[in-house]
Amino acid sequence: KPGQLLMILDDSVLKDQEDDQTIKVQTATATKVKAEKDYEIAVTQNQLNIATAEFDLTTATNALNNYTGVTYDANGAALAAIGGGPPSLSEAGTFRQSVDDLTGQVRLAEAEVQQNAERSGWADRMVKLNYMSAAQAQSERSRLDSSVEKLRSLKAKLTQLLNSDRDQTLTNLVLTRDKFRLTLEKVKQEAESNLLKLPAEKQRATSEYLQTDEKLREIVQQRAECKIVAPDTIEPDSMVVYFKSES
């Protein structure tokens, strides 16, 4: 009758081939999945590396800008234009703030020295008139000497800030900014290089998987053909003759 199982051919060899090919398909599947994950991870890592490099560059650039604070002075530019001079730039960063702060301290110290000098001179006159003791006059002179030393120290700090400190700090900030600028370019180039290699590996793994899977399907199909059943169009009481072309 139609569909009746008539014969089962020996498929032991095909069974061994199927088991072996199944392992190969599993291996190819794992390789394909790994290649896909590696590509996704690389894309994410590239984005993270670039974002980190951009952040470092922005931070270094801001640090330099904050230190110098160089901006375009519109009022100064107008005066420069009238006088025939160059455009005016205004420096208002942390360096200028430090200079202004020290300059203010120097002016206060100068005023203190002047005040103490007047008191010391007055004390000396009072000693001569016997209105004040020598010890009191010495105390005023010591106060004057202390204020003079304070003024000297502040002026030295201001000079150092205007000369060596500014140049060294500015050099370090510029070098740091340039380093991170080069780092960003390098990270972008490495990201581009990685994304050129990984898609090829993913494509190779996918191609190998498809080939091994196709071969497994062929073996499974061959094993299925080892079971001989009566055709659906067979007539009752007919004879079935099995024939397989050698080609």
Q: Per residue in 24-77, pLDDT tens?
A: 999 999 999 999 999 999 899 999 999 999 999 999 988 888 777 654 444 544
Q: Is the pLDDT of residue 22 over 90?
A: yes
C-alpha span between 219 and 214 (Å, rounded): 9
Give the residue-averaged pLDDT of 197-221. 91
| pLDDT score, position 181 | 94
pLDDT confidence bin for 82, thresholds 50/70/90: very low
Rg (CA), the chain: 46
| pLDDT score, position 112 | 92
- Give the mean pLDDT of the chain: 83
Q: Is the pLDDT of residue 84 over 70?
A: no
| pLDDT score, position 33 | 94
Give 191's contacts (C-beta < 8 A, 6+ positions apart).
46, 49, 50
C-alpha span between 14 and 26 (Å, rounded): 18
Chain length of the chain:
247
Give the residue-averaged pLDDT of 15-31. 95
Percentages helix, strand, coil for the chain (3-state, rounded to 5) are: 80, 5, 15
Complete DSSP assignment for 86-102: PPPEEE-SHHHHHHHHH
Q: Cα–Cα distances in Å, from 240 out to 4, 64, 221?
A: 11, 93, 22
| pLDDT score, position 127 | 87
Other Cβ atoms closer than 10 A to 180 = 19
| pLDDT score, position 72 | 41
Higher-scoring residue by pLDDT: 195, 164: 195
